[in-house]
Amino acid sequence: MEDRNVVVIVVDALRPDSITPQSMPVLSSLAEGGVQFQNHWTCTPSKTRVNSATIATGCYPGTHGLVNNELYIPGFAEVINVANYKKLMELDRSLQGPLLSVPTLMERLHRSGRSVALSTASSSGTSFIQNPTACGFSVNNGSPSYVFPEERESEIVARFGAPPKVEIPDVKRNEYAAAVLVEYIIPELRPDLALIWFSDPDKTQHPHSPGAPASLQALAVVDRCIKSIMDKLEEQNLLAVTDVIIVSDHGCISADPDHVSTDRETERALQDRLGSGILLVNGNSIYVTDADRKHKLAEVVSVLQQQRDMGAIFSSYPLSGTLPLSLINQEHERSPDLFFFPRWTSEANKFGVEGVAKGTSKHGHGGTSPYELNAVLIAYGPSFQKGTKIITPSGNVDIAPTVLHLFGEEVDPAIQGRVLLEGLRDGVSPAEIAAHQLSFGCTAENDHVQYQAVADIARVGQTYYLRQANGCQRHMENGSPA
């Protein structure tokens, strides 16, 4: 494929149904003029740092090793907060490193002689995951912030000022990231690959929920920033040779207005009934450190299945009423023994936006509802088709191999995502790509409570996408549902 540039724009927690001509006119226009991948999925858990690693590597968490937004690694004094790049650097340089078990897209392109640069308003950890070897040029305005190479920090601060503080909506930080990209990276560095990561609408949706007035303001800010990027590409006569990929790391779901905190309730139940040897990490995963691991794990699962609003449970052991961790590609040595997620419904919040995570007090993501797993992917540029909507399943795991293909690079067989040929101008027809729908279920009974869970997965070749998973309870009387 002929030489060209690629710009990857990541919009944190952008739901596909948030993109309308009214809320995001620029992005809506790009979607109509390019390719919309309408069946696009994140990885599990649907959290930012996990998906940053998947976008960066083209691999699942079970391969790249960034398995959650917090990491429990024996040998470290405490659970690692992966939002802080300094903690990630410490892990990367330790005996338990490297941070990622496979190379990133930026590392691969740098090794092949191509230039890379990024400007991000995300957490420093999210940004660092994209480029842990600090090749090329990186600016992150998180807290803590960084500039790599470090000797360029004074130049960046002199031109753009000190990194702004977080606000809701996160206007200044996102405008700062866009300014660095538009005024410095594109016209002066002119990298082969440029990446920008916007912190909104995620920053605003967490306190306000999807569809809230503040969240709509955040969408408008990001849309204006995207316009500035497209305008700069046109000004620099780069549109004809630049492919633009817009993707979200995950979606977002609303809190339960009638919540009883699942996290606190679960933690209390585990501590009261099972005592020591149980480590709850990031509110959604459990490591069993007890010597009798399998027996203790079975006890843990029994407790979880009796908690109100418990959704799907994934286990490293084949236990009654659990789904295997392999379904969510979580079989790394750092993976927990269990992942568990809240039950979700399709109820609408007060702004009319569907999706409620039962038992949760905060709007957010990380679960297994389609409102969190269904992500955005829009591709616009000379390599892609025009005005096309594709329903073939795709995922964040496919970003890295597709970008490598755009540059004419060989795709390493170790990469687990696939090249999205169905969206390319010189690719294949979507009708030529076979997609399969798979469903898995499980049941268990504990103390007069019947628990059921199901997971739906799409498969294209050897690439898998979790579309949704959920669980429910029914109370039993005399062996029958009440």
**CATH topology for the 5-253+367-432 domain:** Alkaline Phosphatase, subunit A (3.40.720)
CB 396 within 8 A of CB 55: yes
Q: Is the peptide bond before 45 cis (omega within 30 degrees of 0)?
A: yes
Residue 273 clears pLDDT 80, i.e. is over it: no
* Residue 383 identity (one-letter amino acid): S
Q: Which two tokens stand for residue 43?
A: 């990885």
pLDDT at 261: 55
pLDDT digits 0-9 by tens, 422-452: 999 999 999 999 999 999 999 999 878 899 9
What does the DSSP 8-state code read for residue 425?
T
pLDDT at 252: 98
pLDDT at 290: 80
pLDDT digits 0-9 by tens, 297-323: 999 999 999 988 999 999 999 999 999
Strand partners, 357: 255, 344
Mean local confidence (pLDDT), 73-79: 89
Mean local confidence (pLDDT), 29-34: 98
Q: Maximum CA pair distance of the chain?
A: 74
pLDDT digits 0-9 by tens, 331-346: 999 999 999 999 999 9
Q: How confident is the model at residue 219 (pLDDT cuts 50, 70, 90)?
A: very high
CB 362 within 8 A of CB 243: no
Which residue in 114, 134, 89, 130 sits closest to 6, CA to CA?
114
* Residue 381 identity (one-letter amino acid): G
pLDDT at 1: 42
Residue 270 clears pLDDT 90, i.e. is over it: no
Residue 32 clears pLDDT 80, i.e. is over it: yes
pLDDT digits 0-9 by tens, 186-205: 999 999 999 999 999 999 99
Give buried/exposed letters for 3-21 (b at 16+ CB in 10 A, else e).
ebbbbbbbbbbbbbbbbee
User: Measured between alpha carbons, how far is 38 from 465 in angstroms, rounded to an integer?
Assistant: 13
pLDDT at 289: 86
Question: Domain extents for the chain?
Answer: 5-253+367-432, 262-362+436-481
Mean local confidence (pLDDT), 53-70: 98
CB 332 within 8 A of CB 72: no
Contacts with 298 (C-beta within 8 Å, 6 or more apart), sequence order: 317, 319
Residue 410 clears pLDDT 90, i.e. is over it: yes
Average pLDDT of the residues of the chain: 94
DSSP string, 244-280: EEEE-S---BEEPTT---HHHHHHHHHHHHH-SSEEE
DSSP string, 203-251: HHHHHH-TT-HHHHHHHHHHHHHHHHHHHHHHHTT-GGGEEEEEE-S--
Q: Which of 93-97, 250-254, 268-272, 382-386 has the lowest mean pLDDT?
A: 268-272
User: Measured between alpha carbons, how far is 228 from 218 in angstroms, rounded to an integer?
Assistant: 16
Which residue in 418, 430, 425 sits closest to 384, CA to CA?
425
Tell me which residue has tokens 């309408």: 38
Q: Is the peptide bond before 74 cis (omega within 30 degrees of 0)?
A: no
Residue 420 CA: distances (Å) to CA of 404, 411, 461: 11, 12, 12
Q: Quick one: what percent of the chain has pLDDT higher than 90?
A: 88
Strand partners, 473: 451
User: Measured between alpha carbons, how far is 86 from 248 in angstroms, rounded to an integer?
Assistant: 25
Q: Which of 9-13, 277-281, 466-470 has the lowest mean pLDDT?
A: 277-281
Residue 46 clears pLDDT 50, i.e. is over it: yes
